[in-house]
Structure 1
Amino acid sequence: MHLMTIRRSDGTFVKGSIPWNKGLHIDLSNGKGQFKKGTIPPQHHEVGYIAHHKDGYSFIKVAEPKKWQLYQRYVWEKAHRTKLSKDQIVIFLDGNKENFDPDNLAVVTRKELMILNHEKMLTADKDLSKTGVLVAKLKMKIKEKENG
């Protein structure tokens, strides 16, 4: 039997093409799978490994098997010895995603971040960004008072 797989230029398969693994029988009924026990995959990283993503953000592996955290969040929590809530975000005051100095990191809520982005109050100047964070917090307090 001749196996024929037809693939388009965009990488998708043509309907009706025969897959390369047709007729292969892999017995997975024993519950063991097809990999030997104890084999570590080549893409495995130890706890503490820092991965740099294309978008400029860095992640640190904090637990096994696949528990990752934003590195700026990790640095801020270690420096201040507190756990942040899901609503809180750590931002870079100077806009440099590689500057993990605790003085360059600030915690804002998602609502405050929305105000900062909408009003364009985050700049490359750390002091101006700090002021912008304070203005966003003030605007949130005013809104809370108005709504009762």
Structure 2
Amino acid sequence: MKQIHKYSKQEIQFLRDNVEGISLKELTRRFNQHFNTNLSENSIAAQKNKHGLKSGIVGGRFEKGHIPANKGQKMPADAYERAKKTMFKPGSKPKNTDPIGTEKKLTDGYIWVKVDNQTNVPKVVNWRQKHRLIWEKKHGPIPEGYVIIFLDGNHENFDLDNLEMITKQENLVMNRNKLFKNDKDLTRIGVQIARMLCTTYNVKKSVRKG
């Protein structure tokens, strides 16, 4: 029987903070990325309905009744001439483009670092999570299927001793069994437990297939 995910207060608050103006698909993607889960859109939709959360959009557009403040208004000729000076030409970059090296705390709760200035590319091309950059600088590229966790739960403690690489499967087990603690040593013990549980599960699965 598939285990039903029990949403924590932190997870519900994340939905409240991120639901507005984005599709269910995007909200589900952000949620799973932030909490390293694999929940379905139906599961997220059920929580939205349960807590009365609305994105404000339907079918990719704002709900009926949402009227832009400037609807029907034309820009005066003199205002247009002034605005032309600040309009961007195709391919140009605004003067306030964040320089490489800029650090920002984004909605996922992590610190991101600007690493490039490419145009028309996904965010992850120009921005990288700081803790992943720090880990890779010391240990090399992070293999696919692995994540970097903060052992003390503090997403701004970038000491190498506070970072640990685990598989997404192990991370899921730790979340489900509440093995993440605010103490490094206790979380390390949780990692060992998760690895043991994953190894046991994978061996049994392999035997069943064999």
Q: Same fold (TM over 0.5)?
A: yes
Tell me the TM-score normalised to structure 2 length. 0.53
Secondary structure at 1:97 match in 2: coil
Cα distance, 1:21 vs. partner? 3.9
Cα distance, 1:131 vs. partner? 1.1
In the other structure, the counterpart of 2:179 is: 121
Secondary structure at 2:155 match in 1: coil
Give the residue type in structure 1 aligned to 2:128.
Q
In the other structure, the counterpart of 2:105 is: 52
Report if the CA contact (8 A) 2:145-2:167 is conserved. Answer: yes
Structure number, greater radius of gyration: 1
Unaligned runs of 5+ in 1: 1-10, 27-33
Tell me the TM-score normalised to structure 1 length. 0.73
Secondary structure at 1:20 match in 2: coil
Report if the CA contact (8 A) 2:88-2:94 is conserved. Answer: no
CA 1:140 to 1:37, structure 2 compared with 1: closer, same or farther past 3 Å?
closer
CA distance in 2, matches of 1:21, 1:69: 40
Kindly provide the CA deviation profile for residues 23-62 of structure 1, in whole angstroms up to 9, marking residues without a partner as x.
x9x9xxxxxxx52589641441122211122553100112
Aligned with 1:69 (options 109, 128, 131): 128
When the two chains are superposed, the root-mean-square deviation of aligned CA atoms in Å is 2.9
Aligned with 2:196 (options 131, 138, 141): 138
CA distance in 2, matches of 1:55, 1:38: 29
Secondary structure at 2:147 match in 1: strand
Residue 19 of structure 1 pairs with residue 77 of structure 2: no
Unaligned runs of 5+ in 2: 1-64, 81-86
CA distance in 2, matches of 1:59, 1:18: 36
CA distance in 2, matches of 1:61, 1:72: 13
Residue 89 of structure 1 pairs with residue 143 of structure 2: no
Cα distance, 1:93 vs. partner? 0.2
Bigger share in strand = 1
Give the residue type in structure 2 aligned to 1:19.
G
Bigger share in helix = 2
Percent sequence identity is 33
Equivalent pairs, count: 127
